[in-house]
Amino acid sequence: MKKTSLILASIFVLFGTLEQLKAQTYPELFSTEEPLEIQMKFSTKQVKNETNDSTFIDSFLMYKNTTGGWDSLDIDLRARGNFRRANCSYPPIRIKIKKKKSAETPFEGHKSLKLVMPCNDAKNASSYIAKEYLAYKMYEKVTPYYFPTRLVKISLLDEDNKKMEVTELIGFLIEDDDLVAERFGGEIFDEKKLGPTFLMDSATVRHDLFQYMIGNTDWSSMFYHNQKIMKLSDTEFIPLAYDFDMTGLVSPPYAQVNPTVGIEKITDRAYRGFCRDESIMQAVRQEFLAKEGEIMGLIETQYFMEERDVKLARSYIKEFFTTMQNDKQFDTQILQTCRR
């Protein structure tokens, strides 16, 4: 009885905290779900071969304004990431914006943005991007600590294209991590490695269960792989997750299985979180169950997902909630497999 009361009390406190934190306001760029239409022109070969963390190329971005016309924005850009940069036609992009240039535009206040592009221009490439974007929107439902995103319709003129043909692509923008941290009165912590058990319990369990939900094993709290750490105080450290393409939910053709976690195919699940007090894990479990309707509903409302992928996503996420609802499965697949 005491244990049940403790769990219910934990749920009450966690839900209260979540609702307060979610009462955040976001910049204009990320305040709508409507896809933003943009036009870009650059050489993908040059971006992949001649840019790095400190080397950008000059470019520009055209965007459709609220009146239906087009405005331009001077930008610098570079390729980012490793795997997709080496294995895809279109690398993920880092966009740098000059403060003076962005005034009175939807990009005002943003000095840096990530642009996630499809791996290539194959017929179903947009659906994989839509599923990765869906993962980000699902994460918004389970934690207040996330990267805001915005879908974009990209008209790309690749200067390597001899015919100079414009390619229509779907992508999405991701807010810079420093702005996310600033919104919460914190900062990105990258001075040294921080043991996973030093991260805040409830926020970390939400993160870990979410990664299990989407079938992601391509992350590490130990080495900050596909994860930023936000420092709120000397005792409060929060995981910020990103990069959800190598997951069972998205399951792109280029996906590779993490050989260290004991799974055979990308759609297999493995819980990679460290063990926390069981009352916290049970409380967060109930948070997820309470959000099932909202999370499942997102699948039905996403842009650019093919019907086949809608069905696969629906089935895959429903499988997770079946585990959450079953005491025995939750015990064997989560509580007994968490890292100690």
Integer Cα distance of 20 and 71 in angstroms: 37
Ranges assigned E (strand) in 159-281: 166-175, 187-188, 227-233, 236-241
> What local confidence, expressed as pLDDT, does residue 23 receive?
44
What is the predicted pLDDT for the residue at 16?
A: 46
Question: How many other C-beta atoms can be found within 10 angstroms of the C-beta atom of residue 280?
Answer: 18
Q: Are strands 93-97 and 112-116 parallel, antiparallel or unpaired?
A: antiparallel
Q: Per-residue confidence of the chain (340 residues) as pLDDT tens digits?
A: 444 444 445 444 444 455 445 445 566 899 999 999 999 999 999 999 999 999 999 999 999 998 999 999 999 999 998 888 889 999 999 999 988 888 889 999 999 999 999 999 888 899 999 999 999 999 999 999 999 999 999 999 999 988 889 999 999 999 999 999 999 999 999 877 777 788 999 999 999 999 999 999 999 888 888 999 999 999 999 999 999 999 999 999 999 898 888 899 999 999 999 999 999 999 999 999 999 999 999 999 888 999 999 999 999 999 999 999 999 999 999 999 999 8
CATH, range 2-25+183-335: 1.10.1070
Closest CA to 241 of 259, 258, 216: 216
Q: Give start-end residues of each CATH 1.10.1070 domain in the chain.
A: 2-25+183-335
pTM (2 d.p.): 0.92
Residue with tokens 């509580």: 335
Beta bridge partners of 155: 39, 168
Give residue 10's pLDDT: 46
Using CA atoms, how far apart are residues 214 and 204, in angstroms rounded to an integer?
16
Contact 32, 10 (CB under 8 A): no
Q: How high is the pLDDT of residue 221?
A: 82
What pLDDT shows up at residue 12?
47
